[in-house]
Amino acid sequence: MSKLSAVRPAYWIAGVLLTLSVVVPLLVSTYAKDEPRLWGFPFFYWYQLLWVFISAITVSICYQLVIREERRRRAEQGLGQVREGDR
């Protein structure tokens, strides 16, 4: 079995979500415009601020996925639970 096929789906999902959180805000052509305005703020500003919150939620989801997978992997190998200091 190759090393690539040994990677669990949780890690793939986390990687894709984190990649999207970084790449989408870098696509300037998608938000380099003034309209529509939200509470007087141009689209450029509130779209970027929206991605700050989306990225925070995405990182939180990825963290939970990876920690859950790590706990499951450690339990399968009989290594015990992940303690707070091991993170």
Q: Kindly report, residue by residue over 20-66, the tens digit of the pLDDT.
A: 999 988 888 887 777 888 888 888 888 888 899 999 999 999 999 88
Q: Residue 12 has what pLDDT?
A: 87
**Phi, psi for residue 77 in degrees, rounded to 5:** -90, 0
> Is pLDDT above 80 for 83?
no
Instruction: Give yes or no for a contact between 10 and 65, defined as CB atoms under 8 angstroms apart.
Output: yes
Rounded alpha-carbon distances, angstroms, from residue 54 to 20, 29, 72: 10, 19, 27
Whether the predicted model's global pTM rises above the 0.75 cut? no
